[in-house]
Structure 1
């Protein structure tokens, strides 16, 4: 239940961030918006980290170096979302984003990539992705 709540809140924040970033980019540009968003995100996370004060930094040595670059993906995510919202609107952008996320996580889970526990995919999983794609097609027309 708690995980579902955080997933819902995270999804709502992604949408709010995308729309806000799209508006900001009209005034200052897309890469400037990505920079500003990354900076404010860093400062917010750093502030929360100082407040929480956990000692998990010691485990940083165990993290594979390739995973340490994941923050760089955020700049590309912001750029992609802002550009898509300008071109196809917020609803279609979020719809396509969800299909892309679901499809890639489906592959990650079914193949056990990135050290994830391999999950067996069944017919309802395929039907769910198919219904989402059908929904986007219906939204488009």
Structure 2
């Protein structure tokens, strides 16, 4: 139940961030909005790190260097979401983002990339993604 609650909060926050970033970018530009978002996110995460003080920071050397660069993806995530919201609106952007996320995770799961346990994709999962795509097509009409 806790995982579901955090997933709901994460989804809500992603949407709120996208809307706020879109508004910021109208005034100062897409990359400027992404920069502000990244910076404020860093500051908050760093403050939380200082508060938590669980000592896990010392294990950063155990992380593969490639994975340590994943934060850089946020610049592209933010800018692509801002641009998409300008062109197609918040609802359609979030719907397509969810489909893209599920599609990529299907590939990662089915191939066992990034150290995740390999999963067999069932027909029901493909039907679910197909229904989501159909929903987006219907929303776009």
TM over 0.5: yes
Could you say what secondary structure the match of 1:4 adopts? Answer: helix
> In the TM superposition, what whole-angstrom CA distance separates every residue of 1:6-65 from its partner, at most 9, and x where no partner exists?
111100000000000000000111000000000000000011111111101121111111
- Following superposition of structure 1 onto structure 2, how do residues 1-141 of structure 1 map, counting pairs within 5 Å? 1-141=1-141
1:119 deviation in Å? 1.1
**Alpha-carbon distance in 2 for matches of 1:14, 1:92:** 14
Could you say what secondary structure the match of 1:80 adopts? Answer: helix
1:136 deviation in Å? 0.3
The structure 1 segments of at least 4 consecutive aligned residues displaced by more than 2 Å after TM superposition are: none
**Alpha-carbon distance in 2 for matches of 1:19, 1:57:** 32
Equivalent pairs, count: 141
The root-mean-square deviation of aligned C-alpha atoms, in Å, is 0.6
1:126 deviation in Å? 0.7
Could you say what secondary structure the match of 2:84 adopts? Answer: helix
**Alpha-carbon distance in 2 for matches of 1:33, 1:68:** 23
**Alpha-carbon distance in 2 for matches of 1:49, 1:62:** 18
> In the TM superposition, what whole-angstrom CA distance separates every residue of 1:68-120 from its partner, at most 9, and x where no partner exists?
11010000000000000001100110011000000001111111000001112
Could you say what secondary structure the match of 2:89 adopts? Answer: helix
* Uncovered stretches (5+) of structure 2, i.e. residues with no partner: none
TM-score where L is the length of structure 2: 0.98
**Alpha-carbon distance in 1 for matches of 2:51, 2:82:** 31
